[in-house]
């Protein structure tokens, strides 16, 4: 039984937030100087915005996770396993941002990010227990073979799904912060203290980083940020035994990825698309009616009519808030048996 340590929770969250607030402006200035910037294609003027702002999320979350590992020995192995998966995904994202990776290669590499979780479960005295997902009203399942076959997807899918939805100002940090909050709350209501301790560093980083990424964005996250954050969410869900909760919380991201891949019929990078799913006309965003444009969640929302980018982002956040609330309800039902 892990005792609740409010000081550790607050210290890890505040350390992450403070460092993200300090580092992000430095990343912005440095990337302007180095010319590491991309066009904000959803603005009429398409301004240049520094990319790879996710580096500040990576650095600050790392520090917050180390604080947890030092202050809460009972979850030290969990925190280090999460950190290893997180940094591995960040390294893949950084290489993609700087050099470029083929979509299939990037996806295959993110599959490897589950390796630290598997290794942590093998370390004596086996403090990390994975492989027993719990269903609401049913209880723990014994998926001796199937679970381990699906485990690589538990990190790769959220990593790539979050990456694919990081297309509008503020969407990634806002929606992932909500998903992270739902995992934290789910840990509280279900007694999964691993989730309670592992999420505050990421929550602090995302909350602080959102101030710079919100509309109008002063920095973009890059793959280094979105892949790392998605991988972290998947890793927390696995380490805490909240796999089903994680799926519910990230349903908007998963649905967006599913629709995009179903219409394009292959793995792809946004830079490879000949037709963008969203068009900018007269200062508002419209769904691209072209049959060759990917059918994304943004495209589906805009099919009801044009919206400003702010309004579209609010729709994303509202959907994520709903799914995050349902995720907490799911966690509560996990403790109920028929």
- 232 to each of 59, 69, 134, how far by Cα in Å? 13, 16, 20
Residues forming a β-bridge with 281: 284
DSSP state of 337: B
pLDDT per residue over 106-146, tens digit each?
999 999 999 999 999 988 777 788 877 878 877 777 766 78
What mean pLDDT comes out for the span 302-312? 95
For the question of whether the overall pTM of this predicted structure is more than 0.75, the answer is: yes
The Cα–Cα gap between 296 and 294 comes to 6
Examine the pLDDT at 73 and tell me if it is beyond 70: yes
Say how many C-beta atoms besides its own lie within 10 A of residue 125's C-beta: 5
The Cα–Cα gap between 219 and 225 comes to 11
How far is C-alpha 97 from the chain's CA centre? 17
* pLDDT of the residue at 338: 53
Cα-flanking dihedrals φ and ψ of residue 281, to 5°?
A: -140, 120
The Cα–Cα gap between 156 and 154 comes to 6
pLDDT per residue over 12-34, tens digit each?
999 999 999 999 999 999 999 99
Beta-carbon contacts of 253 under 8 Å, excluding residues fewer than 6 positions away, are 158, 161, 162, 164, 165, 175, 230
With vertex at residue 201, the alpha carbon angle to CA 17 and CA 236, rounded to the nearest 5 degrees, is 150
Say how many C-beta atoms besides its own lie within 10 A of residue 82's C-beta: 32
pLDDT per residue over 138-167, tens digit each?
777 776 678 888 898 999 999 999 999 999
Residues forming a β-bridge with 140: 134
């Amino acid at each position: 039984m892990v005792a609740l340590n409010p000081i550790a929770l607050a210290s890890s969250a505040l350390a992450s937030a403070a460092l993200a607030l300090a580092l992000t402006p430095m990343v912005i200035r440095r990337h302007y100087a180095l010319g590491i910037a991309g066009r904000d294609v959803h603005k009429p003027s398409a301004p240049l915005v520094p990319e790879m702002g996710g580096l500040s999320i990576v650095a600050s979350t790392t520090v917050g996770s180390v604080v947890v590992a030092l202050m809460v020995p009972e979850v030290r192995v969990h925190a280090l396993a999460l950190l290893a998966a997180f940094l591995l995904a960040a390294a893949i994202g950084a290489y993609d941002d700087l050099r470029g990776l083929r979509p299939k290669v990037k996806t295959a590499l993110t599959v490897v990010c589950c390796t630290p979780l598997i290794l942590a479960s093998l370390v004596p005295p086996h403090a990390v227990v994975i492989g027993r997902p719990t269903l609401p009203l049913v209880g723990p399942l014994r998926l001796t073979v199937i679970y381990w076959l699906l485990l690589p997807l538990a990190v790769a899918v959220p990593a790539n799904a979050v990456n694919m939805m990081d297309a509008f100002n503020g969407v990634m940090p806002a929606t992932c912060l909500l998903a992270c909050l739902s995992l934290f709350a789910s840990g509280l209501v279900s007694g999964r203290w691993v989730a309670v301790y592992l999420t505050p560093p990421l929550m602090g980083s995302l909350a602080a980083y959102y101030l710079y990424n919100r509309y109008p964005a002063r920095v973009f996250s890059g793959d280094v940020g979105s892949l790392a954050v998605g991988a972290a969410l998947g890793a927390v869900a696995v380490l805490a035994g909240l796999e089903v909760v994680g799926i519910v919380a990230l349903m908007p991201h998963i649905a967006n990825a599913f629709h995009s891949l179903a219409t394009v019929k292959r793995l792809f990078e946004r830079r490879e698309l000949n037709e963008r799913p969203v068009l900018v006309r007269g200062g508002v965003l419209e769904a691209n009616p072209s049959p060759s444009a990917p059918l994304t969640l943004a495209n589906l929302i805009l099919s009801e009519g044009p919206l400003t980018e702010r309004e579209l982002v609010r729709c994303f956040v509202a959907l994520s808030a709903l799914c995050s609330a349902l995720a907490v309800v799911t966690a509560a039902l996990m403790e109920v048996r028929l």
